[in-house]
Structure 1
Amino acid sequence: MRYLQIENARLIDPANNLDTVAEIFVADGRIQTIGRRPIAGEIEESIDAQGQWLIPGLIDLGGHLPEPGYSQKGSIASETRAACAGGFTHICSLPDTKPVADTAAVIQLVLEKAAKAGFARVLPLGALTQGLAGEQIANMVTLQEAGAVALSNARRPIRDNYVLRRLMEYAATYDIPLFLTANDEALSAGGCMHEGPTATRMGLSGIPETAETIAIANILLLIEQTGVRAHISQISCARSVAMLTEAHQRGLPVTADTTLANLLYTDEAVEGYNSLFNVQPPLRSERDRLALLQAVEQGHLAISSNHQPHEIAAKKAPFADAEAGMSQYDHFLPQALSLVHRGELSIDALIRATSTIPANLLGLHQQLTEGAAFNACLVDPNAENVVTAQSLQSRGRNHPALGRTLKGQVKRVFVDGQLVFAS
């Protein structure tokens, strides 16, 4: 047997209470031994990772891939390579492509193109309703059989609670997980940022917190009634955290995530009408940001990217008219590490929120343990890099950290033992 040896790395895996400097041996795509040399075989390649961390690969619970249908914004190949550059080994792709991922053919197309690209593994989310129109149920079982790991309506509205209940009942019957977003369309209509003093001062239409919390209340009640396996994507405010905590205390089996942007920024980032910060869900107050951080630290929330690449023209319109979204895959881990460097989040909590919790939700074994598939990344936590347009792997030019110096760099990413990215 021929081995890849990684020595002198700090191995960090909170799922196994692992935080130690040790060598690791990989062969046939799997971790063979940790902290001891194999009895037989030869070392094919050795990596001295002095000063670097080896952590489980990140898993994204929601990113937008622009293919098929939006070639001006990127391709599956460009965005999965960008995901690897950010530390991801697996990404859940949202179904709002063109055509919508509401047929087995589109799911299979995405899987084939991702396999051909050979970067991050893509785990498609199938469309919950036909055309994402929020009215007619999609063929859930067919989409699951084609490779969809769950069903989602992205941020498109469901027509009403009666339809949502029927969707949940059908999904519960076949034990198909749903990824749901909480947004009351009537309350958020016309809004482009958080409703608060900043929006008032800038003369922009706001989106109240109740647009999210009322929708969460509806979702939680229907989850309780139907027993569906559900994950609430992209929560953004403190009240939502409190509602989910209360649901957990009642034993409701619901999970949730928040986006990295909502942990890094507040609505004050919109000052100057910077359209890079026009995102959905909107950036909220500092109180909301701190509540989300606390929930992540306590292990109650996962962190997703909500990656949405756009060409330059899409962000050149006035703030309210610019297309919403950030390109987040490139430098995702260094951005997240800024929360660790400034003491707002522990490294264990970050890894748990970006790898362990998503893996458990999706039924993946993403751990640094002997026998596990080697899905991991090496990161230099102290390397500093300036984010430039030329350094981006994604075709999206709407990266929020352009021109900034970030501390931390992904050095290598391995998927099933294969090196898929090296900086």
Structure 2
Amino acid sequence: MKILLKNTRQLLRDNETEHCDILIEKGRISKIAADINEETDKLIDCKHHMVFPGFVDVHVHLREPGGEHKETIKTGTKAAARGGFTTICAMPNTNPVPDDTEALQALLDKINEDAYVRVLPYASITKNLKGEELTGISSLAEAGAFAFTDDGVGIQTADFMLRAMRAAAANGKPVVAHCEDNSLVYGGVVHNGKISERLRLPGISSLSESVQIARDVLLAEAAGCHYHVCHVSTKESVRIIRDAKQAGIHVTAEVTPHHLLLNEDAIQDDDANFKMNPPLRSTEDQEALLEGLMDGTIDLIATDHAPHAEAEKENGFLNAPFGIVGLETAFPLLYTYLVRTKKVTLEQLISWLTVKPATIFQLSYGVLQEGAIADLTIVDLNKNVCFDKQTFYSMGRNTPFHGWQVQGIPLVTIAEGKIVYRSSRETDCIHIN
């Protein structure tokens, strides 16, 4: 299909923008110019809205197979498209776990059948995520695993992590870690701080995260492995990662929108929509995360999209599962509360959502240039909306951001030259012929 985007604005260096047209042919960007006039299958008048590379999220949970009452590949990728994401990387905490080539191939077949956007699946480090037996990392890498992780569960023994890192390094694959020392969790459900005291809930120590990161960066150095830290949440973790990078260790890290925008003070009562792992930490931790993102210690932003059934989240902090949804809220939240408040620039935000994850994980996406794969999102930076969780495309309604006012709304998402999302709001000023 041949698509022409007319009257777009693209972001240049130093936060400058310029008007342009973009021609898409055979799934790629064939031309970017001031004025393009060609016969096409579809013409999109972008009304001078911004066009960005499709966003890349290296940390999402799609739940299928085994958790279809929470989310499916179809609903999760539809939510991703609505949020402007064209590449997402699916964690392996499913049933069955993609811990052998047969399970991984079945997952790849289902993705090929149902996904609206590109899905790159992780394989697990250990069999059934139990930390007792390593998977066949070489065969899984050859079969198409994006990377290796036991996300949701920390690898508890150094021996297992070192062997996994060596095998992953031998196959040119990263090890991606949910860092949590179970011996320091103490059954916690919120951060161990003033909110845990006020609500009389068991707290999760910051040490449970930072201690395991400290162990793992040394193991990564010994193994020569690319080690990526999921959802960094503490100031101590930021310090360890910064020191490791200065020592030349190949470590990268991500932070979530919710850890950047919220801290434990946001929790007013026993509302499990604020329950996530790692938990919302202190104000000092939140400030350290933004500082780490700004100075390059933390490399990128990922949502950790974790949908659950509404009934599951109604059970309070002690009994509800960890996790919140994030694919449909990420960009508007970050644009509204970081860019528009002048804490970061639009150029920085787009880089953390596109160029950085693509570069770090050696993906050929996340760029807007001639010859590139046509993954694009068109965004109205000025439109105001109020988040209503009942309108989410995701099956998950578990968000602490319900009712928040935001700007920066994706209107159209194009993945590999196909329109995979267009806003149905009558007030959105964009026209497709």
TM-score, normalised on structure 1? 0.94
What letter is aligned with 1:73? K
Greater shift in the superposed pair: 110-119 or 407-416: 110-119
Shift of the alpha carbon at 1:36?
A: 4.6
Q: Deviations over 1:77-111 (max 9, x none)?
A: 00110011111101110000011111222222222
- Aligned equivalent of 1:271, options 251, 263, 268: 268
Shift of the alpha carbon at 1:220?
A: 0.7
| 1:410 aligns to 2:410 (yes or no) | yes
Contact 2:274/2:399 (8 A) holds in 1? no
- Aligned equivalent of 1:142, options 135, 139, 144: 139
Give, in whole Å, the separation in 2 of the partners of 1:7 and 1:296: 34
Give, in whole Å, the separation in 1 of the partners of 2:34 and 2:28: 15
Give, in whole Å, the separation in 1 of the partners of 2:284 and 2:9: 34
Residue 3 of structure 2 aligns with which residue?
A: 4
Contact 1:297/1:346 (8 A) holds in 2? no
Give, in whole Å, the separation in 2 of the partners of 1:28 and 1:108: 27
What letter is aligned with 1:107? L
Residue 341 of structure 1 aligns with which residue?
A: 340
Residue 382 of structure 1 aligns with which residue?
A: 382
**SS at the partner of 1:151?**
coil
- Aligned equivalent of 2:181, options 184, 187, 201: 184
Shift of the alpha carbon at 1:420?
A: 0.5
Q: Deviations over 1:347-400 (max 9, x none)?
A: 111111111111012222321111001111001011122222431101111122
Contact 2:390/2:397 (8 A) holds in 1? no
Give, in whole Å, the separation in 1 of the partners of 2:124 and 2:316: 31
Give, in whole Å, the separation in 2 of the partners of 1:27 and 1:140: 37
Residue 31 of structure 2 aligns with which residue?
A: 33
Contact 2:387/2:403 (8 A) holds in 1? yes
Give, in whole Å, the separation in 2 of the partners of 1:240 and 1:118: 35
Q: 1:52 to 1:59 in 2, by over 3 A?
A: same
Q: Deviations over 1:184-225 (max 9, x none)?
A: 111113111111122112211111211111111100111111
Residue 353 of structure 1 aligns with which residue?
A: 352
What letter is aligned with 1:137? L
Q: 1:309 to 1:359 in 2, by over 3 A?
A: same
What letter is aligned with 1:341? R
Contact 1:25/1:37 (8 A) holds in 2? no
Give, in whole Å, the separation in 1 of the partners of 2:329 and 2:40: 31
- Aligned equivalent of 1:159, options 156, 161, 165: 156
Residue 428 of structure 2 aligns with which residue?
A: none
Contact 1:6/1:49 (8 A) holds in 2? yes
- Aligned equivalent of 1:230, options 227, 233, 236: 227
Residue 107 of structure 1 aligns with which residue?
A: 104
| 1:308 aligns to 2:332 (yes or no) | no
Residue 362 of structure 1 aligns with which residue?
A: 361
Residue 56 of structure 1 aligns with which residue?
A: 53
Greater shift in the superposed pair: 413-422 or 167-176: 167-176
What letter is aligned with 1:315? K
Greater shift in the superposed pair: 211-220 or 385-394: 385-394
Give, in whole Å, the separation in 2 of the partners of 1:414 and 1:317: 38
Structure 1 unaligned residues grouped into runs of 5+: none
Shift of the alpha carbon at 1:18?
A: 7.2
Residue 18 of structure 2 aligns with which residue?
A: 20
Shift of the alpha carbon at 1:42?
A: 2.4
Contact 2:20/2:35 (8 A) holds in 1? no
Residue 133 of structure 1 aligns with which residue?
A: 130
Give, in whole Å, the separation in 2 of the partners of 1:351 and 1:188: 35
Give, in whole Å, the separation in 2 of the partners of 1:189 and 1:134: 19
Give, in whole Å, the separation in 2 of the partners of 1:329 and 1:174: 30
Shift of the alpha carbon at 1:233?
A: 1.0
| 1:262 aligns to 2:259 (yes or no) | yes
Q: 1:294 to 1:51 in 2, by over 3 A?
A: farther
Trace 1:392-411 onto structure 2 (pairs within 5 A).
Answer: 392-411=392-411
**SS at the partner of 1:162?**
helix
Residue 85 of structure 1 aligns with which residue?
A: 82
- Aligned equivalent of 1:292, options 274, 289, 296: 289
- Aligned equivalent of 2:41, options 14, 39, 44: 44
What letter is aligned with 1:361? I
Residue 212 of structure 1 aligns with which residue?
A: 209
Give, in whole Å, the separation in 2 of the partners of 1:263 and 1:379: 22
Give, in whole Å, the separation in 2 of the partners of 1:402 and 1:153: 30
TM-score, normalised on structure 2? 0.92
What letter is aligned with 2:404? R
Structure 2 unaligned residues grouped into runs of 5+: 424-433
Shift of the alpha carbon at 1:138?
A: 0.3
**SS at the partner of 1:406?**
strand
Shift of the alpha carbon at 1:294?
A: 2.3
Give, in whole Å, the separation in 2 of the partners of 1:105 and 1:405: 45
Greater shift in the superposed pair: 44-53 or 218-227: 44-53
Residue 245 of structure 1 aligns with which residue?
A: 242
**SS at the partner of 1:152?**
coil
Contact 2:190/2:204 (8 A) holds in 1? yes
What letter is aligned with 2:332? P
Percent of paired sites with the same residue:
32
Contact 1:77/1:113 (8 A) holds in 2? no
What letter is aligned with 2:308? H
Contact 2:156/2:182 (8 A) holds in 1? no
Q: How many aligned residue pairs are there?
A: 420
Q: Deviations over 1:110-136 (max 9, x none)?
A: 222222224111100001101111121
**SS at the partner of 2:359?**
helix
What letter is aligned with 1:276? N
Give, in whole Å, the separation in 2 of the partners of 1:379 and 1:155: 32
